[in-house]
Amino acid sequence: MPLAVLYSRAIAGMEAPLVTVEVHIANGLPGFTIVGLPEAEVKESKDRVRAALQNTRFEFPSRRITVNLAPADLPKESGRFDLPIALGILAATGQIPSDKLGLYEWAGELALTGELRAIRGALAMTYGAARSGRSFVLPEQNAAEAALVRGAAVYPATSLLQICAHLAGREPLQLYSLHPAKDTGAGAGGNGESALRYPGMEEVKGQAQAKRALEIAAAGCHSLLMIGPPGTGKSMLAARLPGILPAMTEEEALESAAMQSLGSGGFRAASWKQRPYRSPHHTASGVALVGGGSNPRPGEISLAVNGVLFLDELPEFDRKVLEVLREPLESGRITISRAARQAEFPARFQLVAAMNPCLCGYLGHFSGKCRCTPDQVARYRGKISGPLLDRIDIQIEVPAPPEEDLMRQAQGESSETIRQRVETAYQRQLERQGKANAHLAVKDIDKYCIPDKAGENLLRQAISRLNLSARAYHRILKVARTIADLAANPEISGAHIAEAVQYRKMDRS
Ligand SMILES: Nc1ncnc2c1ncn2[C@@H]1O[C@H](COP(=O)(O)OP(=O)(O)OP(=O)(O)O)[C@@H](O)[C@H]1O
Ligand SMILES: [Mg+2]
């Protein structure tokens, strides 16, 4: 029959709608047309498919080939349609049997040699395939990611020839069955391994207050800003944060994996159940940060979902770029609207940022070498808007450590010791309210963050003296809740409130 019908999937936001690939071979002048809103990568598929078929010793028909990707109004991008198009041509010309084609969904980019290359969004596509009851054939590199979907039948393949041998019944493809948790050995121990892979906190000398703030931030998923002169260890501390983060739940891990799978970097099985840690450079554009494109893709804030987004040298970021963070920081989601389409991505990330106190960087340094005028300092700090600062729970100074701290050989606590305390405090929050303290809504705060008498008095004073906004007030209560959780204290006391108020550095200066 000169017609073959196969199934594949497109990517639209987080969804993977079904695409029917119809290949028709007709007599007439030789030609190769792809219709159904193909974008540039899909149009280029013609050349890849032709070369791949010829290089694997199949016959490329010198007839009129029409490929229709339905539904016609859904834009199709990426090279993942190479595989179904190639198989469709082979089936329509009778070079492979077509009886079993409809049992599977296909996706894979073809190399000119006929090998299969990894694709983007395999996780979302496998979800779709599993729901429709079909098995999914895809490049081997994507198998671990696709197998995260429970109940999905995934057949990894390395080349077009291997798939043809499978369809011809000569050498069946093997069902991929290993759950990646077993595969990588990372499942059972949570991110216990991560502390080994990330640089250790024990390397940081002195900076006891900053380490304490980092521990609180990790325990309650609080956003954190570190301000200090050059070379005091701000970037160093931030790089050690992933090593002390609490383990992820299965659900969180799946959500993060789905985002990674949609991003250009792809998902790696080794990062399963590891909290993402993203640190975009300050030249990043707004679209790179929040996501976008005509076919919307997730940005850094979505790739960092359930993990950390670290913005080093915060004032160097374009002010407009930073402002786009305001909305997702509150809502934990980002909706990207383009003329043709809308996509919503999760964006519940923990913001960690570092900055110098002024342009020269040495304001407040013991050397006294800062010559910045108050006006210059104000202008420098003004690069970060008040509303953004207001959204940061913990703001601390990281001063130059005293010489004796630097000279001391004795090592501080290891990341693993800190991580265990963080984990205990985090579990306490999950048991009490089912989420981290930083994610408490206003009505939850009234329920779970009630200070005792002394705490209440202290808080009242702080609000009037520091002119705190309602948001800052709620944030102090949430941070105090985490401090109490770290101390295994069911009550929020005056000492906890006092420590939390200390962490509003920018409200005071
Ligand atoms: N507390 C510390 N303990 C050990 N080494 C430190 C400490 N602080 C700084 N250093 C050393 O100084 C180097 C620079 O630190 P880091 O890059 O973290 O500074 P920074 O605060 O981010 O500075 P900048 O504001 O210029 O970005 C580190 O790589 C480390 O070698
Ligand atoms: Mg730095």
Say yes or no: CB of residue 231 within 6 Å of ligand 1: yes
Say yes or no: CB of residue 357 within 6 Å of ligand 1: no
Round to whole Å and give the CA distance between 403 and 388: 35
Give the residues across from 351 on adjacent strands: 309
Residues 4-38 pLDDT 10s: 999 999 998 888 999 999 999 999 999 999 999 88
| Angle in degrees, 0-180, between the axes of helices 208-220 and 415-433, rounded to the nearest 10 | 40
Say yes or no: CB of residue 46 within 6 Å of ligand 1: no
Q: Are 141 and 118 in contact (CB under 8 A)?
A: yes
Q: Are 151 and 174 in contact (CB under 8 A)?
A: no
Residues 6+ apart with CB under 8 A from 133: none
Q: Are 137 and 106 in contact (CB under 8 A)?
A: yes
**pLDDT of the residue at 196:** 41
| Angle in degrees, 0-180, between the axes of helices 415-433 and 470-486, rounded to the nearest 10 | 110
Say yes or no: CB of residue 102 within 6 Å of ligand 1: no
Q: Strands (DSSP E) along 220-349, which ranges?
A: 224-227, 277-278, 291-292, 297-298, 308-311, 333-337, 342-346
CA 236 to ligand 1 centroid distance, Å: 6
**pLDDT of the residue at 184:** 45
> For residue 265, how many C-alpha atoms fall within 13 Å in the half-sphere facing its CB?
18
What is the Cα gyration radius of the chain? 27
Ligand nearest to the CA of 230: 1
Round to whole Å and give the CA distance between 248 and 194: 12
Say yes or no: CB of residue 360 within 6 Å of ligand 1: no
Choice among 92-96, 186-190, 346-350 with the minimum mean pLDDT: 186-190
Q: Are 108 and 139 in contact (CB under 8 A)?
A: yes
**pLDDT of the residue at 148:** 86
Nearest of 296, 397, 405, 308 to residue 347 by alpha carbon: 308
Evaluate if residue 472 carries a pLDDT over 80. yes
270/23: higher pLDDT: 23
Test site for ligand 1: of 226, 235, 380, most ligand atoms within 8 A of the Cβ: 235
Round to whole Å and give the CA distance between 109 and 381: 48
Tell me the average pLDDT across 108-114. Answer: 96
Q: Are 126 and 96 in contact (CB under 8 A)?
A: no
Round to whole Å and give the CA distance between 207 and 396: 11
- pLDDT above 90: percentage of residues in the chain: 64
CA of residue 418 relative to chain centroid, distance: 24
Round to whole Å and give the CA distance between 121 and 325: 25
Say yes or no: CB of residue 235 within 6 Å of ligand 1: yes
Q: Are 95 and 59 in contact (CB under 8 A)?
A: yes
Residues 53-81 pLDDT 10s: 999 999 999 999 999 999 998 888 889 99
Query: Which CATH superfamily groups domain 194-435?
Result: P-loop containing nucleotide triphosphate hydrolases (3.40.50.300)
CA 263 to ligand 1 centroid distance, Å: 31
Test site for ligand 1: of 224, 232, 317, 359, most ligand atoms within 8 A of the Cβ: 232
- pLDDT above 70: percentage of residues in the chain: 95
Evaluate if residue 195 carries a pLDDT over 60. no
Work out the pLDDT band at 405, boundaries 50, 70, 90.
confident
**pLDDT of the residue at 164:** 95
Residues 6+ apart with CB under 8 A from 436: 220, 221, 426, 429, 430
Identify the CATH number of the domain defined by range 3-177. 3.30.230.10
CA of residue 274 relative to chain centroid, distance: 11
Q: What is the mean pLDDT of the chain?
A: 89
Q: Going by CA atoms, what residue is nearest to atom 14 of ligand 1? A: 231
Round to whole Å and give the CA distance between 243 and 198: 6
Choice among 19-33, 115-129, 262-276, 447-461 with the minimum mean pLDDT: 262-276
- What is the token pair recorded at 432? 């009490």
CA 354 to ligand 2 centroid distance, Å: 7
Q: Are 155 and 137 in contact (CB under 8 A)?
A: yes
What three-state secondary structure class fits 243?
A: helix
Any idea what DSSP says for residue 465? H
Work out the pLDDT band at 186, boundaries 50, 70, 90.
very low
CA 233 to ligand 1 centroid distance, Å: 3
- All structural domains of the chain with their residue ranges: 3-177, 194-435, 440-509
Q: Going by CA atoms, what residue is nearest to atom 9 of ligand 1? A: 233
